[in-house]
Amino acid sequence: MSGEFLTSSITDASGSAIIGDNQQNGNGGNSNKEATDGYSATVLSFPSGTGFLNPTRYISPLRDNHSNYNAVAKTCLLLNQFAAHGSSKASSEDENNNAGSMEYVESSSLFHDSTFAQSLSESYAALLECISDHNDRRARIVACKTVALMARSAFARLRKSPHLITGNNYINRLDDEIGTDIPMSLCTAALEDTDDGVAATAMSSLGIMVLSTTSTPGTLVDDELSTEVRSIAQAGGGQQPYAPSLKELVDDDAATQQSELQVRIYENVICPRLLQLVSRFMILDHPSHVAMVIPILTASLVYLSKTTNNNKRRVGELDYNSLIEIMVKEILLPWMQQSCVMTMGATTTAALSSIRLIHACPLAPWISEVSHWTIMVLKEECSNNCLEIQLTTLATLLVASRVIPLPERVNNVFEFVVDRVLELPSTIMAPSGIVSAGLLIEIDKLGSAHYRKPIRPSFWSEIILGFFMDGPVGNSSSSSSESNIRSQTLTKFLKSYKIVDILEDKCDDDTTTGTQGKIREELVTAFCMVAFRVGRRHRSSNLIGRQEELKEWVRLSIALLTACSPCIDWGTTSPYMDEEMTMLIACQASYTRLLQEVVHTAGLLSAESISLKMTPFSSPPHILWDQMEEASEYLVQFDTMPLMDTSMTEPIEILMDDIVKREMKGAGVVSHHMRIFLMSLAADQWIQARHVPAGKVVVSSSSDIGMSVDCAKQLLVTISPRRMFGKVVESNKSQIENYSKSKKEKYKKFAQDTVSVCVACIESIALMACHYTKRFGSSNDTKAVLNYAVKSLQGKSGNDSDAPILPVCQAAIERIQSAFQKGDRIATDSILLSPLVPDDFKRRRIVSSSRINQGRDAFNEGYVMQLSRQIISSRADRCLYSFPSVHTLSSTVRKQNWLRLSLPPLPQSQNPQISVAEIPRFVWGSNVKICTAGSDPVAVTLANSMCRSMRYDGEDEFRLMVTMRVHNLTAVGIPNGLRLELGITEENIGTSADAQDVVSLEISRSLTEGFEILIRENTFGSSVVTYEKELKSGDHLTWAMMMNPLPMKGTISLTPTIIFRALEKEAPHASWVTSDTTKNEGEETSVTSGNSKTGSEGAGEKEKPGNDQKQDIVITGEPMKLPPMIGLQPCPFVFFRDSLGDVDSFRFLWSRMPCQLSPVKLVIDPIAEEKPNQFYDAIRLASISTVAFKGDPVAGGMITRLWSFMSPKGKRAMFVLGEQEGDKSKTLHVRGDDKDLLLCLAGTSNSRNALISALQPGFISALQEIFN
């Protein structure tokens, strides 16, 4: 990272764009005075040679006040390379060039700590001298940036993990220089240098050391605005804040050291001088200078606000609120108000800083004016043609609009954002690799993987959250006025011509590869899902005490449902048994679920309703429609809600009547499953609307209530069993002959279930009419309803397909006639329901059957749809967590900080059952090994761990870091240094001696059956580095290697080799010479290591007369085997939202994995307590990769646990654990999309036992019992 920063720094300091500006750069001191029209761009040559030499020999230009700028810049480049790559006495040769080898090692660095620290210290001193004394302003500028970059890159290297490396890991001198001396010198330059450009650069260099690039959400130094904007603009690309990652498992993270450095600089250097710094930079007049200093000043003020309690902390004579007000009114506002093309960089920076300060001071009086100008600047910035900049600016605009009143927000921001979103493609490129939950579209000829992610759902989610949750409403003082403003504004927005055009499909949709359906489907899905999740928020507490909030939500939801009701007509009819994973089905399922929630909240749906109790009978087990089953299971635990007033229930009745009428026209509701859900819901609403008023004592006759005969007639016609069954048969007519026998049986069962639901609805409506007759006497209305009900059940079409219907309908008619003829009065507090309605609610199994035959296009569409749903849910959850339920306050004061940038804590219900903190973090020997013997001249310690690596696209990627430390144990130095080699061997599972047992052979057969068995040789690789100078007695070297993503095709072994370079040969040993002694034995004895694994010698050079003979001594250490699960991480697609995982996404992937092992039977290990567990790292990995769900009974047993992993190469491995009833054994089912990965994890007895020990400690695989 440091090399990247310095390259840009030198470009800024010497490039034509800045150097040509005489007003900014002045005359440049004494160098290049002849360049009157600006200085030409400097061309710097890299130092010759392959190794990094001692940089202190090149720092003389820094100490010379009159040195040439080119010499200073070249020295700074060399210093940056040295700080990034290691010891000046090391020559790094990354040799992965063996024939047939793989490049396992991406980069390596060799460090000799003492010389590295000394060189850095001298370099820092020279750079600080250049900053304070050099005559050329450009030299001072580049020196400021260089010293900041060197300090930041070196600080994390000062400390090594005590779990991996022993010895002195803390260098106090450098720590003081980096944490105190360098920041103080930069701060002094910022305050005292008379050149504005140098002063601004010195301040921005403090920003290089302080502003975080790998921040941890929730910490003091986190850039909360950047995190929030990134989660909106890059949703689906990077990792979400609540998602599990290997960061929870690493014991040494560079971000920890970086946070410590940031806090030290804030507390000891910047904050005590913040008033002087703000005053110094208030007089800047160049836009580039202003843009450089605003970020660090803003971050310092934000930090001050976080660490101040009750405004008691003061800076000089001012409290931090006053200082922030000066910053806003004297710097930020003036620059935003004079926005133009020439000042766009400064004005945009000022706008972003304004949002951060609004969040720091949510009640400040200047918020209204500042937010207005911020939005103006951001809207101008949206004209940028770069798609990434557009997305970031739109996300920032939505965040900034949260603080303005709702009507103004809709007119000035939402309508503008809608126009821009319509211009966006459906998907864009996502970060490559496993850092992203994006969809892998293709791998090009160069081996580069191209990922895509949905782009619009996060924006739709933020827009609808603006109506339901975000921002102030206006100047109204009453909560009733507030709720009316919200619903009225939403209704007006949904009727705007842009939204109407979207819903009527008049907008051109981008159809990029891998995208989902139409933009209108995305909009309805996002709007309905967010509204549903907001409604569920109210159920976390006493619903009766929150009637105003409930009414507000119901009004908003009714407006949304009414506007989006055309979605029930979208699409074409598909076969009843086919599972469609499209955005259209997601849209219709979300609409149906929201409608059910609204009807229940309004008191028009009881816990005994048909649409709740018979949800498992309403559709086959399809993933998207199973969410209705989950919703019904949740609602049946609540008592019937109190009936809301007429102003709330009447719009619901009108909406339900409109839906029934739509079903009567033309093709009606296109989806079979949506049709049965909506019609049963309409029947329940009709029954409950009649039942609640009938229970009132003051009601004297049925005419006071009304039977709504016309509505009942239309409803009974639509849910006629023959009509509904006929539609199912018609949709499958062309495919029924191609069904297998088992699928035909399933089809008959599900079709019969559809008939049962329809009959139950009709019978329950008729029983309600009987109830009215018995209480109020017979009337024309009740007779009409009864007649229509019986007619709906009667009749013969002459079609053989009616055979399954006749017995069910006839039995229902008989029960209706019997109920009508009985004269007993019925209790008013109960509803007569059909006997077909079950008493208990039972969920079906969650794991879907195989869908691998659906094709790649169907998989892509389903994947993007599932990811879009998770993005929508994550945006809604983040908002709801930011606004916890406060029952004692009215809605006008329930939210104070509308920006909600701070990461809210995760509710206890969303935390995993097993915490990683409860599992031991480290066991010595599991990932650290001493590879040499006690009598060897050196001690070699080899360690491996997963470390976070910051990528150039801003994503965090976890790579395997292998660290080798070599200690000189001899009493003398090693004069010519050492050559270190790391041999890497990846074993082929097929030829491994550990894969010849019965279970391993069966697993191999199950993966290779029907395919050509691939037999390959073991794969080798190596990396070499040379330290050419003397290694003194007791001294040590540290070699750190960053590995490329592991292929995970077999067990990997690491073998260290130490070569003593060019040692003098010992003199020949004296010996008695006899007649039996050969000439060679008497002259010389070879020198080898008696305790190492292997020892050898080699001539350093050919023997020449008069020259001393040299030899290389080779010591090969014991190899270290890497754990089979190393490199795996939680699947980012399944664990996109939080640590609980998404069961629907798991089901989607599980049913579409092409590779499957024979189920492995697990039995209790009788000696488990006697074995030391060396797999704690794997157990911790398995714990964060566990998908949480309620175990459900299935045929033959119960599914209890689910796991989902992804390999470094982007391949998936998924596991399902089943328990047999009455049996202590368990069954492990394994699926994935790569045979090599599954063989690597379970193809040998050792790897399989390690896997089982991680997933289910205390169990082992049965030796003989393999079953299908």
Predicted confidence (pLDDT) per residue in 1024-1049, tens digit = 988 888 899 988 888 888 888 888 88
Q: Is 1070 a residue whose pLDDT tops 70?
A: no
* Per-residue confidence band for 316, with pLDDT thresholds at 50, 70 and 90: low
Structure tokens at 873: 């849910």
Share of the chain above pLDDT 70, in %: 77
Q: What span, in angstroms and rounded, lies between the C-alpha atoms of 1249 and 1237? A: 16
Integer-rounded Cα radius of gyration of the chain: 36
Is 60 exceeded by the pLDDT of residue 89? Answer: no
Distance set, CA 595 to CA 615, 902, 1165 (Å):
14, 33, 51
* Listed residue (553, 525, 526) closest to 539, CA to CA: 553
- Rounded to whole angstroms, the Cα distance separating 334 from 350 reads 9
Looking at per-residue pLDDT, the higher value among 210 and 1087 belongs to 210
Q: CA angle at residue 77 from 1031 to 298, to 5 degrees?
A: 115
Cα-flanking dihedrals φ and ψ of residue 237, to 5°? -95, -75
Reduced to 3 states (helix: H, G, I; strand: E, B; else coil), residue 1029 is coil
* pLDDT value of position 114: 81
Band (pLDDT 50/70/90 cuts) for residue 147 is very high
Tokens encoding 943: 């360690």
Nearest CA to 493 among 562, 564, 411, 436? 411
Q: Which bin fits 423, alpha (ψ -120 to 50), beta or left (φ > 0)?
A: alpha
Place of tokens 């907008």: 507
Q: What is the mean pLDDT of residues 291-295?
A: 93
Torsion of CA 513, 514, 515, 517, to 10 degrees: 100
Q: What is the mean pLDDT of residues 1092-1119?
A: 64
Cα torsion angle, 134, 139, 141, 142, sign: negative
C-alpha 114/C-alpha 1076 separation (Å) is 54
Higher pLDDT residue, 525 or 1010?
525
pLDDT at 694: 52
Distance CA 1021, CA 1050 (A): 14
Structure confidence at residue 1177 (pLDDT) = 82
Integer Cα distance of 564 and 778 in angstroms: 40
- pLDDT for 1087 equals 34
For residue 159, the model assigns a pLDDT of: 67
pLDDT at 42: 40
> What's residue 1213's pLDDT?
94
Tell me, what's the pLDDT at 1083?
39
413-422, 615-624, 1066-1075, 1197-1206, range with greatest mean pLDDT: 413-422
Q: Write the DSSP assignment of 449-506 as a string of letters.
A: EEEEEE-SHHHHHHHHHHHHTSS---S--SHHHHHHHHHHHHHHHHTSHHHHHHHTT-
Q: Tell me, what amino acid is at 76?
A: C
Contact between 960 and 944 (Cβ < 8 Å): yes
Q: How far is CA 153 from CA 1, 5, 85, 767, 1009, in A?
A: 8, 10, 10, 78, 52
Q: Which pLDDT belongs to residue 69?
A: 92
Higher pLDDT, 392 or 1072: 392
Strand runs (DSSP E) across 849-999, as ranges?
928-930, 938-950, 956-968, 978-986
Give the mean model confidence (pLDDT) for residues 1195-1208: 80
pLDDT at 710: 84
Q: What is the pLDDT of residue 969?
A: 92
Q: Where are the alpha helices (DSSP H) in 665-805?
A: 672-694, 709-718, 721-731, 741-776, 780-793
Q: List, for residues 374-384, the tens digit of each pLDDT value.
A: 999 999 998 88
Written as one string, the DSSP assignment of 1046-1073 is P--SS-EEEEEEEEEEEEEPPPPPP---
| Digit-coded pLDDT (tens) for 410-431 | 999 999 999 999 989 888 888 7
Give the Cα separation of 576 and 580 in Å (integer): 10
Q: Please tell me what DSSP assigns to residue 255.
A: H
């450098």: which residue's tokens?
Answer: 174
Q: Percent helix, strand, coil in the chain (nearest 5)?
A: 50, 15, 40
Q: What pLDDT score does 58 carry?
A: 86
DSSP 121-188: HHHHHHHHHHHHH-S-HHHHHHHHHHHHHHHHHHHGGG---TTT--S----HHHHHIIIIIHHHHHHH
Residue 992: pLDDT band (50, 70, 90) is confident
How confident is the model at residue 1104, as a pLDDT?
47
Under DSSP, the state recorded for 1031 is B
Comparing 1268 with 471, the larger pLDDT belongs to 471
Cα first-last separation, the chain: 52
CB 270 within 8 A of CB 210: yes
DSSP 915-953: -GGGS----TTSSEEE-S-TTSSEEEEEEEEEEEEE-TT
Tell me which residue of 259, 251, 260 sits closest to 165, measured CA to CA.
251
Reported confidence tier of residue 298, pLDDT bands at 50, 70, 90 = very high
Residues 6+ apart with CB under 8 A from 384: 390, 393
Task: Render pLDDT for 1210-1263 as a digit per residue (tens, 0 to 9).
Answer: 899 999 988 876 567 788 899 999 888 998 888 888 888 889 988 988 888 876
Q: How confident is the model at residue 1205 (pLDDT cuts 50, 70, 90)?
A: very high
pLDDT of residue 914: 62
Both tokens of 724, joined, read 């509904």
What is the distance between the alpha carbons of residues 1136 and 866, in angstroms, rounded to a whole number?
11
What confidence tier does 517 reach under pLDDT thresholds 50, 70, 90?
Answer: low
Q: What is the mean pLDDT of residues 94-99?
A: 39
Q: With both helix axes pointing from N to C terminus, report the angle between 721-731 and 741-776 in degrees, rounded to the nearest 10.
A: 160
For position 1249, what pLDDT does the model report? 86
Instruction: Give me the mean pLDDT over the 780-803 stretch.
Output: 74
pLDDT of residue 39: 36
Tell me if 847 sits within 8 A of 1145, measured CB to CB: no
Q: Give dist(CA 994, CA 1212) in Å, integer.
A: 24
Confidence of residue 295 (pLDDT cuts 50, 70, 90): very high
Of 30-44, 87-101, 657-671, 1223-1237, the range with the lowest mean pLDDT is: 30-44
The pairing of strands 1212-1219 and 1129-1130 is: unpaired
| Mean pLDDT, residues 785-808 | 72
With residue 1163 as reference, give the H or E element that holds it: strand 1160-1164
Q: CA-CA distance, 300 to 39, in Å (whole number)?
A: 35
| CA separation for the pair 1264, 25 (Å, rounded) | 80
pLDDT of residue 444: 65
Q: Mind listing the pLDDT tens digit for each residue in 719-742?
A: 888 888 888 877 777 677 677 777
The CA distances from residue 1110 to 211, 1026, 1061, 1080, in Å, are: 53, 17, 9, 18
Per-residue pLDDT tens digits for 881-930: 888 664 433 343 334 678 888 888 887 777 765 666 677 665 555 688 88
The closest of 342, 334, 249 to 288, measured between CA atoms, is 342
Distance in angstroms (rounded) separating the CA atoms of residues 117 and 540: 57
Residue 529 vs residue 992, higher pLDDT: 529
Confidence of residue 521 (pLDDT cuts 50, 70, 90): very high
Per-domain residue ranges of the chain:
1-92+113-159+168-210, 929-990+1014-1121, 1129-1266
Backbone phi and psi for residue 1238, each to the nearest 5 degrees, phi listed first:
-65, -40
Least confident of 350-354, 819-823, 864-868, 1178-1182: 819-823
Helix axes 320-327, 287-306, angle to 10 degrees: 160
Fold of 1129-1266: TATA-Binding Protein (3.30.310)
Q: What average pLDDT does range 279-285 have in this prediction?
A: 90
Tell me how far apart the alpha carbons of residues 422 and 520 are, in angstroms, rounded to a whole number: 10
Average pLDDT, the chain: 79
Distance in angstroms (rounded) separating the CA atoms of residues 697 and 704: 12
Question: Which tens digits make up the pLDDT trace of 217-267?
Answer: 666 667 888 888 988 988 766 677 888 888 877 766 767 778 888 889 999
pLDDT above 90 as % of the chain:
28
Please identify which residue in the block is written with the tokens 């006493």: 542
pLDDT of residue 197: 94
DSSP 547-574: HHHHHHHHHHHHHHHHHHGGGGG-S---
The pLDDT of residue 842 is 77
Confidence of residue 514 (pLDDT cuts 50, 70, 90): very low
Q: Is 706 left (phi over 0), alpha (psi -120 to 50) or beta?
A: left
Q: pTM score, two decimals?
A: 0.88
> Each residue of 427-447: pLDDT tens digit?
888 877 777 788 887 776 666
What average pLDDT does range 122-150 have in this prediction? 94
Decide: helix, strand or coil at residue 643: coil
With a cut of 50, say whether residue 574 has pLDDT above it: yes
For residue 626, what is the enclosing H or E element? helix 626-635
pLDDT tens for 592-627 read 999 999 999 888 888 888 888 888 888 888 888 888
- Single-letter amino acid code for the residue at 852: I
Q: What is the pLDDT of residue 1009?
A: 63
